[in-house]
Amino acid sequence: MSPITEEFSTDEGLSRAEIRAKKRRRMMRRRRTTTIVIICILVFGVGGFFGVRAAGGVFDDLFGPKGDYEGQGTNEVSIEIAPGSSARTVANQLVEAGVIMNSEPFLDEIERREATIQAGTWTMREKMSSKAAVEALINPIAPPKITVAEGKQVEEIKAIMIESGMNADEVDKAIDDKTPKDYGLEIDAPSLEGYLYPATYDLNKQKTAEDIVQEMVDKTETELDELGIESKDANRILTLASLVEKESPGDPEVRSKVARSFLNRISDKSQTGGLLQSDATVAYIHGARSDLTTTKKERQSDSPYNTYKKKGLPPGPINSPSKGAVEAALEPADGDWQFFVATNPDTGETKFADNYEDHKKNVEIYRKWLREHSKDDG
């Protein structure tokens, strides 16, 4: 593309008078820049001139590349715009940072849109078109984010972090074989499972995988503090909460009854020999199916997380529980239930029983639901 074509390629839709006015403004800017150059040469000499040129971008129009980049740009960069900066100062700053190719198209776009540039720190990208750069200053580029949903396990969280662009080795290093104590949370737990708080986190170029994990652990600590949970009780409560998260719908009443049922199973009045018998913990060992059912062989595992063989709660949480699940574990309902089953998974309807015979009747209701829905599915 010739310089003439390039110059007029952004003038579509303008009247002849507007085009002439635009050319005059461009000519006046260039004359001012030329005058500055001549003065610098006369006052400082050639050496002084090139020193001034190196100190700022005011000479880019004469000596820098012409034209404009295309598109939205590549790598993100952080730009600090000082209060009171003129459009020309910002343009030169962006040129020096590699955001735009030269200042003229950027200044023309600022003028065309009658844009006002605000001071502050801005997320931009290298090699942006002037149009994209101005748009980024008017409608800031939102920093990338990752969202950790409630009930996610460590391996799922790692996958989310890697999919966001983080280096897999750095993610592994930040999480594998680490415990809350490695991130300043004085709680005895076997791993970070359950301590990576489910929330949305901002990412930027400066944040490492360890930085993000630290934020997750810090949020967990804040949540524990807000709920008044002491360090000595935290692992037990989060472990129970993670079972509630997995084994019950979001209804607060149901969750609190599920929490009580689990506690009754491992109490002195247990009807299960002190065993939780939670399929969720067995699924945690082997990988979960959507209905959390497990096989007889899987339930023979010697893992400390196999609550069909190991009494009491497992060593630690099996996922990152929601606040609602933690509250249910912290304040379980009053009752003698020891058994429960979701008799209608679609609605979340759950039936509770305080003896095994009644529980078997509830299980039959669930099996009937399964048969009916298997027919509906063909």
Which tens digits make up the pLDDT trace of 305-317? 999 999 999 999 9
Same domain, 161 and 90: no
Residue 352: which pLDDT band, with cuts at 50, 70 and 90? very high
Most confident of 2-16, 27-41, 47-61, 165-179: 165-179
The mean-pLDDT minimum among 6-10, 265-269, 280-284 falls in: 6-10
Residue 362 lies in a domain: no
Residue 48: which pLDDT band, with cuts at 50, 70 and 90? very low
| Burial classification of residue 361, based on how many CB atoms lie within 10 Å of its CB (0-12 exposed, 13-18 middle, 19 or more buried) | exposed
Residue 5: which pLDDT band, with cuts at 50, 70 and 90? very low
- Give the Cα separation of 316 and 81 in Å (integer): 48
The mean-pLDDT minimum among 42-46, 121-125, 161-165, 167-171 falls in: 42-46
> Is the pLDDT score of 37 beyond 70?
no
Q: Which amino acid, residue 110?
A: I
Same domain, 225 and 322: yes
Same domain, 126 and 170: no
Same domain, 101 and 133: yes
Residue 176 lies in a domain: yes
Residue 144 lies in a domain: no
CATH of the domain at 84: 3.30.1490.480
Residue 213 lies in a domain: yes
Residue 11 lies in a domain: no
pLDDT of residue 2: 33
Residue 317 lies in a domain: yes
Burial 267-284 (b: 16+ CB within 10 A, else e): eeeebbeebbbbbbbbbb
The proportion of the chain whose per-residue pLDDT surpasses 90, expressed as a percent, equals: 62
Q: Which residues contact residue 296 at a Cβ distance below 8 angstroms, ignoring those fewer than 6 apart?
A: none
Same domain, 226 and 319: yes
For residues 348 and 249, the answer to whether their CB atoms sit within 8 Å is: yes
Same domain, 170 and 91: no
Retrieve residue 206's tokens. 């400066």
| Burial classification of residue 55, based on how many CB atoms lie within 10 Å of its CB (0-12 exposed, 13-18 middle, 19 or more buried) | exposed
- Give the Cα separation of 325 and 240 in Å (integer): 9
Closest CA to 262 of 333, 165, 187: 333
The proportion of the chain whose per-residue pLDDT surpasses 70, expressed as a percent, equals: 80
Same domain, 130 and 228: no
Q: What is the bridge-based pairing of β-strands 145-147 and 349-353? A: unpaired
Task: Give 221 or 293, the one with higher predicted confidence.
Answer: 221
Q: How many domains does the chain have?
A: 2
- Give the Cα separation of 8 and 371 in Å (integer): 72
The mean-pLDDT minimum among 159-173, 231-245, 284-298 falls in: 284-298
pLDDT of residue 309: 95
Same domain, 107 and 204: no
Which DSSP helix (H) or strand (E) runs through 341?
strand 339-344
pLDDT of residue 53: 38
Query: What is the average per-residue pLDDT within 337-361?
Result: 93
Q: Which amino acid, residue 236?
A: R
Same domain, 130 and 84: yes
| Burial classification of residue 102, based on how many CB atoms lie within 10 Å of its CB (0-12 exposed, 13-18 middle, 19 or more buried) | buried
pLDDT of residue 187: 96
Same domain, 182 and 290: yes
The mean-pLDDT minimum among 181-195, 280-294, 344-358 falls in: 280-294
Residue 323 lies in a domain: yes
Same domain, 132 and 170: no
Range of the domain at 223: 154-337
For residues 200 and 210, the answer to whether their CB atoms sit within 8 Å is: no
Same domain, 167 and 290: yes
